[in-house]
Structure 1
């Protein structure tokens, strides 16, 4: 147990900043999961779950004694919901691969689904901002926006909606400033890297979607 505790508490010191290795590793798993999602491979989900578990302990800083000593309830809570939604996504992609040979086929959400996403984003942000405020979370409105958007994006990935990449961009725009202000520098930097992968992933999924549509038209003809 002492070895595990040592690994769990391992730190990296850069100037005056103290950074936990589990924050770096957890975000690295997150990037690997994003790459897997872009490539539409099933292993993206379990890899993401491992990263989520590590990052939960990072963002509950006052509970797990991180250098920041801050509880970001939104960031921590979304890791738990990520795990739940990821199990759903993992199951869905495995079933889809079994049925059609492909884990997921990118496509646009319907108009009704888009309206539901926008409504959920607005209402979720308002409701969770109040919840996180009562819990004493750091940056409750930003936390609520990130929390709601992250769950929507993960669910959208599970459903194969190409829009989920756009939701991630909206999350990153708010997430980077929040994490920099709170002192979670590795997470902030990796959020910036995520933004690059998100733009790339969106372009890849859009290309696959267009190619699939063209093939369907040819087949139908």
Structure 2
């Protein structure tokens, strides 16, 4: 749970973000096993879940994320990767439709950063000092790690792997591109500066890389 409060964001901690209501954020990135439920539910065939990207999905003949057939990245408890922003968003729509109680989404980037840094404003999820081996980065393993393998990455709100392992899609647009979506957190093949909680990466939403994954934000659905 990310508590309602005022957070300091940015490299110099000179930007303020006020969270009016607490928001739940998933403890781990979404795994292959979790995403397989969406595939098994024929989520790739139901346009209702694809608020955007349906045409791209059809043109590229996507039927599952790339990690499902990528040796070394396909374990059930590894984060799903080679998944585009469109696929991650469709997963959220499907989960919302099947849950009934909660609204699921990709976290907005300021919320993501607040969850990673906490009220302390940490540079990394564990503090301000970089320690090699605290997270899955710098090609330490040469691939993604099973979620939770690096407990030192636990952020103040209890979320794990917010430093390293996979770049995480957010819902936010980047101002430098008309359609570029922001990713946060660094990954298994990136270095300390890229893994900083304030660091912003961005690409177009149809890109699928072996180090791109996502986690969820969750709020109660509004009443009738």
Q: Does the pair score TM above 0.5?
A: no
Larger fraction in helix: 1
Band of TM-score, shorter chain: under 0.3
Larger fraction in strand: 2
Structure (1 or 2) with the larger CA radius of gyration: 1
**Does 1 or 2 have the higher relative contact order (CA < 8 Å, sep 6+)?**
2
